[in-house]
Structure 1
């Protein structure tokens, strides 16, 4: 997300009231957006009709009866960054992230969420009354001790800055005079109006009164991470279900499904995901400018474009057997992988529509829609894999049929969500304009395509290399890559949550709070890493049996899982460091370090030890293990030496450039 600038003096509390800039003009300004997207939207407006005019979108302040609120540049509203991401695939090398301009507007839900965050921090710092006033029955010492020692009290996360400390303090007047005028009969003393929250927030931030604790940040990180972890695990289960099901047919079939999935990822799914990232800019700026119907127009345009791209992808997949036979020595494995790709092609248009639809909803701040859809489709996918392969006795071809059906169900369920739940306001119907003005979209899409392909290639190439060792090695590689990808779905979503939180705190000039959250995130990464290490080490003799019945494959997997377990701690730390760097606006550091570590160190070591020294699959995995340690060490050192106040000043400069 930018080189350092000299530190600027922070304002005093007395001058804070005069700092305010117009909230709406800042958030809807195109001057901080993409010039390509701006030109494209302007052209669409010139070609459009009635829908070219901005849609009205009353913000939360307006709905509360105020239309003259001018948040300060230190408001978390001007710093908000949503957790935008792409699917990690089997394993990510370089994490794509979105730039600051794409967060230059807020949806109504997001503004409400930010106001709640500000209110919560004000309350924890005793600058607002607690949500529920203390009752007389709670004023005595026995009552307070009983509440503290109760099961509910022991379970609740506590700190000196928590709401409980507001409940436990004496009734005597103190320096917190702002609380004395509160109405004890109302939540937050009746002081939680948007105007009052904004005023208190501006004064508190400028005076340096906003502090946080590791307990609060731990709870926040867990709350942000949980739904993302569930979403990522569900989405990856679409691939895992096929590997689980097919693996019990034989090791040749297990290797074939892994080879086919790798080919589909690199030549198809990564292309769709990379190109669809341009909607993160186009849809965002269309929505942020108030031209909501243009969001639906951009969706149509991208779907048509991806369907056109499906033609060359289809040619590759239909020729999969011939192409893979020329690369892979095992001809039967190549033949089955080619069959898998041919059947999988039936689901490619649906997958393209789903990737585009996700961006359509994300532009409106509807991030839970994807989770709801996966909660329906992921179990159906697992059930269909079992029914098609074993109950209907279709064998190997049953797995790609199940995947193709699921990929067509995904956009259908997403459409039903938009039609009957939320998101319909940005759909203006099918238009002929969607067949024109593709140039800006393609220009914005190509950088995203390059980044996502870089992600997929680093680890996917190991699968192709394993095929030269033998059928058993390829089958074992399929199990190992799947297992490590599953464990990766925990720290990666947590890094997304951490980057969002850190970016918001830095944008609000809360450098100490951002630093505290980064420490909490790193501690969380250590705990996750230790959990993954313990899990893989303890269950190494049982994990392979879940995927295959072949004794040779089980033995190879069991012997290699300790190596995979050993770098889980580095994996979690490296992923979290990448998230912190994105929150700092220095993700280019993580990109350079990752490319260097994976492509300049990991790949040569893997090929040198795997084939040159004859270590086989063990050698192939030695490279990524060393690379992850290097990434964690370099990025961790960079973060340790980072000036958090400089990051605040950088964010302040970016936010005021518009």
Structure 2
């Protein structure tokens, strides 16, 4: 019987009397918490790694885009002392003639973001050089087709209602900007070629060199040698060709040993398919590029058009500067998505999209709030006229909304470029911008007499917002694993030679 008696000293009085089942639940809860913490750490690590990859492209891209945007502004500023007609001439030549062709050629070159990005992800490194040469051929030939816009710039501008003296001076500038026009055919593909290999820092340094040359040449040719409008045009020609030779020199002189193996006759094969993809890319981007240019033209039909144009120009300038950030995310997202899809990593492409959209949106919200806080002060940068200040103040809410939408829309367009959806997005842009947005802007602004706010509001909410919503739905519903398969099939189709020993080689960035 004594063996059946439990003595008090057999019990640890400090040990809590917990049922066995409760103890197991506690250990399971602890394990779950540890798993959650580990998952959170892994997610934070993935976000940090993706952020580093993304900003390796976005950071230099912001800098190079701001520099490129500034070169034309600097030349116009130097030309400002020549007179109102001369300043208007170079501004119109840059905005209307060069701007029209710039958007189309830039869009056509973005086909390389799809092809080079996916080929790089698939480690078909040699094909990047072939794609680059094909793009040079296609864009160079396209430059000849667009040449009449420069040669006949004067009569075209007169038809658009410009005064004869401004149209004649703009036509002179346009003819002297023909070398600039042809530089686009080489510079844009070189930028996309290097960007797809994460070599954006090279583009940034070369852009800085081009900016310094632009400042020096503008000062010499306009102020020192007094070449007037011709000097302003030549300074732009020289500075943009500095970008071409700088990027080309880096590419062929050992900067890209894996992706540049010299000129090849293979570049002349598959040009028709390449042209179709380039054309789709060009239409996709130029429809966006022309949209807000049309906004400014439409404002000229309003009563008190001078004040409306002045206020809208202030808002568009601010929007243009801030837009360099989303456009850099456009480039970064396109490269990251294309690289991951080319490597067959659909989930990684989806994750890159989420990180990019989130970070760009946060930046957009920041600037949106900043505009709302400084709504009655932002115009002081450009004007002290009371009427202009009041007009800009009224438009500040639309400026804030536009900046917010622009923080998302270009990123989603970058996803489309990285995935090769250019043709589909071109149709979406056509429908949203020109079938919905533009008629709604005309209706609100000119028919219902809401003025510039009606025009801009109709185009923003009817065009940009609808397009952003459609692209968001398409991206959310995307089957990323299927897109990875399509990307690999595209790489195999467009590669004229099999993989050699590239799979065992790491790219030195």
TM-score, normalised by the number of residues in structure 2 = 0.70
How far 1:576 moved relative to its partner? Answer: 3.0
Which residue among 175, 179, 182 is the counterpart of 1:342? 175
When structure 1 is superposed on structure 2, of 596-605 and 408-417 the one drifting more is 596-605
| 2:260 pairs with 1:427 | yes
2:317 aligned residue: 482
Deviation track 1:450-469 (CA, whole Å, cap 9, x = no partner) reads 11221222112234445566
| 2:328 pairs with 1:493 | yes
Distance 1:618 1:531 in 2: 20
RMSD between aligned residues: 4.6
| 2:93 pairs with 1:260 | yes
Distance 2:349 2:171 in 1: 54
Change (3 A) 1:244 1:335: same
How far 1:422 moved relative to its partner? Answer: 1.1
2:112 aligned residue: 279
Deviation track 1:65-104 (CA, whole Å, cap 9, x = no partner) reads xxxxxxxxxxxxxxxxxxxxxxxxxxxxxxxxxxxxxxxx
| 2:413 pairs with 1:574 | no
1:531 aligned residue: 370
Deviation track 1:331-367 (CA, whole Å, cap 9, x = no partner) reads 2232222222111112222221111222332344423
Deviation track 1:273-311 (CA, whole Å, cap 9, x = no partner) reads 233233345545666676655543443343233222222
* SS of residue matched to 1:567: helix
1:604 aligned residue: 439
2:226 aligned residue: 393
How far 1:255 moved relative to its partner? Answer: 3.8
The aligned runs of 1:55-454 (5 Å cut-off) are 210-212=42-44, 225-247=58-80, 249-265=82-98, 267-283=100-116, 292-420=125-253, 422-431=255-264, 434=267, 437-454=270-287
When structure 1 is superposed on structure 2, of 336-345 and 511-520 the one drifting more is 511-520
Q: Between Structure 1 and Structure 2, how many residues are aligned?
A: 446
Distance 2:352 2:127 in 1: 38
1:652 aligned residue: 481
Change (3 A) 1:582 1:353: closer
Give ranges in structure 2 of 5+ residues lacking alignment.
1-29, 489-509
CA contact (8 A) 1:377 1:410 kept: yes
CA contact (8 A) 2:281 2:426 kept: no
TM-score, normalised by the number of residues in structure 1 = 0.56
Change (3 A) 1:522 1:299: closer
1:541 aligned residue: 380
CA contact (8 A) 1:264 1:341 kept: yes
- Rg: which structure is higher? 2
When structure 1 is superposed on structure 2, of 364-373 and 575-584 the one drifting more is 575-584
When structure 1 is superposed on structure 2, of 345-354 and 504-513 the one drifting more is 504-513
Deviation track 1:480-518 (CA, whole Å, cap 9, x = no partner) reads 533321122234434655787799799447989976875
* SS of residue matched to 1:334: helix
Distance 1:375 1:248 in 2: 25
* SS of residue matched to 1:489: helix
* SS of residue matched to 1:570: helix
Change (3 A) 1:346 1:534: farther
| 2:292 pairs with 1:462 | no
CA contact (8 A) 2:222 2:228 kept: yes
Distance 1:384 1:474 in 2: 31
CA contact (8 A) 1:509 1:652 kept: no
| 2:392 pairs with 1:561 | yes
When structure 1 is superposed on structure 2, of 475-484 and 228-237 the one drifting more is 475-484
Distance 2:366 2:209 in 1: 31
Change (3 A) 1:512 1:376: closer
* SS of residue matched to 2:200: coil
Q: Which has the higher helix share?
A: 2
* SS of residue matched to 2:66: helix
How far 1:623 moved relative to its partner? Answer: 3.7
How far 1:374 moved relative to its partner? Answer: 0.7
How far 1:529 moved relative to its partner? Answer: 1.8
Change (3 A) 1:379 1:463: farther
Distance 2:80 2:198 in 1: 39
Distance 2:365 2:475 in 1: 23
* SS of residue matched to 2:255: coil
